[in-house]
Amino acid sequence: MGDSGPERVLIAASFVNRVGNGLFNAAAALYFTLIVGLPAAQVGGALTIAGVVGLCAGVPGGHFADRRGARTIMMVALVVQAVSMAALVLVESWTMLTVVATVDQIAAAVGGAAWGALVARVGRDRPARFRAKLRTFVNLGVVLGTVGAGLALAAGTRGAYVALILGNAASFALCGALLLLLPRYPVLPAPPQERRLLAFRDRPYLVFTVLYGAMGLQYPVVSLLLPIWIAEHTEAPRWTVAALFAVNSAFCVLLQTRIGSRIETPHDGGRAFRTAGLLFLVSCPLMALAGYTPVWAAAALVLAAVFVHSLGEVWESSAGYALGFGLAPEHAQGQYQGLLGLGFSAGQALAPAILTTVVLGLGATGWLLLALCFAALGAAGPSVARWGLRTRPQPAVAVEATS
């Protein structure tokens, strides 16, 4: 756990919340299609509308958290999510699903930005080490929640699905209650005459947001693209799909603190981003090669590729923390984290279409193009870090930029 009381509180709150997310996310689509009886196209449409509307709320919500207090805004968002999540058990129509899911996604975007600002305040002494530990427990929470969801899915009853949804709602409420144990951090004053929504005019940060969102394509590679590739293009046994999730989760949990705690400054983050791109440059061709080898060789290649990819994921997430927090002004962490979340969420929304049409459509060539794309994105990391450091107004950061 964390080294201080506030760190331990925020880690515990995040862990509880992500256990709930793991319970719900693995079963949400099946609940609305199999139990409620809505057509899959309607479910997808409702969640897409909710997601798009939610994207627009992150930066304004983050700015509100900067000016009104991150803890307060995050607690309000968690209460709204607890209520909206519980309301999902009452959904019987597409319209109701769209309304409830939209409210939930708006609260999630606002809460995510406020969470980023709160992380910045709680982990100020040793930010890299704290954020690495935080991500370790977040990953572990998702894994445990997913295991619980698997048990409910095996039961397949309405009661089991409702238990998952209400469990997620309870996790939001418990997370909010735990935040009461945090100090009430004073709002940091903004410089005189500073315009609102400063993040949208910060060109280095905007460029990094685009890079970070594009590099985020690496997450659906393991959760979406590789399982389809294994099933349709390799001789690897089907249990390999389950094994790759276990390997990915285990290595991210085990290695996040060890690697992430060393990546503290934006300069470190730029180099880590480049390292991540190089690791993905190795992992993607290994995944492609599995489609052209005998059965056990294919299984071995897939597991080796996931191991390398997991290393890249740890380096990439650590780089995101170092640059995402390090380049943001302390008084505007909320809106900057909201912008970063906007870029990441937009990338995740586009990822399924890009990966399934371009990569799967081109086969091995698609995998190689994806690898080169990741490497090119990573190669830009050090330059963006230097650019960002040169344009920061803080004297301490300016010294680092010129050293």
Residue 401 is predicted with a pLDDT of: 39
Domain boundary, last residue among 131, 148, 179: 179
Say if residue 208 is in the same domain as residue 278. Answer: yes
Say if residue 154 is in the same domain as residue 254. Answer: no
User: What distance in Å separates the CA atoms of residue 60 and residue 248, rounded to the nearest whole number?
Assistant: 34
Residue 277 is predicted with a pLDDT of: 97
Task: Write the CB contacts of 10 (distance below 8 Å, at least 6 apart in sequence).
Answer: 2, 118, 119, 122, 134, 179, 182
What is the pLDDT of the chain when averaged over all its residues?
88
Say if residue 117 is in the same domain as residue 150. Answer: yes
Reply yes or no on whether the pLDDT at 4 is more than 80.
Answer: no
Average pLDDT over every residue of 320-326: 93
Reply yes or no on whether the pLDDT at 127 is more than 80.
Answer: no
Reply yes or no on whether the pLDDT at 394 is more than 70.
Answer: no
Considering its fold, how many domains does the chain have in total?
Answer: 2
Average pLDDT over every residue of 78-103: 94
Residue 146 is predicted with a pLDDT of: 78
What CATH number does residue 348 fall under?
1.20.1250.20
Reply yes or no on whether the pLDDT at 56 is more than 70.
Answer: yes
In the chain, what percentage of residues exceed pLDDT 70?
A: 95
| Structure token pair of residue 91 | 């959904």
Amino acid at 349: A
Evaluate whether residue 175 is within a structural domain: yes
Confidence tier at 125 by pLDDT (50, 70, 90): low
Instruction: Identify the domain containing residue 56 by its residue range.
Output: 5-179
Evaluate whether residue 112 is within a structural domain: yes
Task: Write the CB contacts of 304 (distance below 8 Å, at least 6 apart in sequence).
Answer: 286
Q: Do the Cβ atoms of 88 and 165 come closer than 8 Å?
A: yes
Domain boundary, last residue among 112, 147, 179: 179
Evaluate whether residue 257 is within a structural domain: yes
Say if residue 167 is in the same domain as residue 228. Answer: no
User: What distance in Å separates the CA atoms of residue 303 and residue 378, rounded to the nearest whole number?
Assistant: 23
Say if residue 118 is in the same domain as residue 256. Answer: no
Q: How far is CA 265 from CA 121, 236, 355, 395, in A?
A: 16, 41, 32, 15
In the chain, what percentage of residues exceed pLDDT 90?
A: 52
Say if residue 173 is in the same domain as residue 225. Answer: no
Q: Which residue has the higher pLDDT, 258 or 212?
A: 212
User: What distance in Å separates the CA atoms of residue 343 and residue 117, rounded to the nearest whole number?
Assistant: 17
Confidence tier at 208 by pLDDT (50, 70, 90): very high
Phi-psi region of 392 (alpha: psi -120 to 50; beta: other; left: phi over 0): beta
Evaluate whether residue 326 is within a structural domain: yes
Confidence tier at 268 by pLDDT (50, 70, 90): very high
Reply yes or no on whether the pLDDT at 396 is more than 50.
Answer: no
Evaluate whether residue 185 is within a structural domain: no
Residue 31 is predicted with a pLDDT of: 85
Confidence tier at 319 by pLDDT (50, 70, 90): very high
Task: Write the CB contacts of 403 (distance below 8 Å, at least 6 apart in sequence).
Answer: none
Average pLDDT over every residue of 90-99: 92
Q: Do the Cβ atoms of 100 and 91 come closer than 8 Å?
A: yes
Q: Which residue has the higher pLDDT, 381 or 295?
A: 381
Residue 29 is predicted with a pLDDT of: 75
Residue 304 is predicted with a pLDDT of: 92
Dihedral sign of CA atoms 68, 74, 79, 80 in order: positive
Highest mean pLDDT among 162-176, 237-251, 383-397 belongs to 162-176
192: DSSP letter? T
Q: Which residue has tokens 């085990």?
A: 254
Residue 279 is predicted with a pLDDT of: 98
User: What distance in Å separates the CA atoms of residue 230 and residue 299, rounded to the nearest whole number?
Assistant: 9
Residue 45 is predicted with a pLDDT of: 86
Q: Write the pLDDT tens digit of every residue in 339-374.
A: 999 999 999 888 888 888 888 889 999 999 999 999
Say if residue 135 is in the same domain as residue 171. Answer: yes
Phi and psi, residue 313, nearest 5°: -65, -40
Say if residue 28 is in the same domain as residue 135. Answer: yes
Average pLDDT over every residue of 309-325: 95
Residue 217 is predicted with a pLDDT of: 93
Dihedral sign of CA atoms 289, 291, 296, 302 in order: positive
User: What distance in Å separates the CA atoms of residue 326 and residue 386, rounded to the nearest whole number?
Assistant: 12
Residue 400 is predicted with a pLDDT of: 42
Say if residue 166 is in the same domain as residue 235. Answer: no
Say if residue 64 is in the same domain as residue 169. Answer: yes
User: What distance in Å separates the CA atoms of residue 335 and residue 287, rounded to the nearest whole number?
Assistant: 37
Confidence tier at 74 by pLDDT (50, 70, 90): very high
Reply yes or no on whether the pLDDT at 399 is more than 50.
Answer: no
Confidence tier at 397 by pLDDT (50, 70, 90): very low
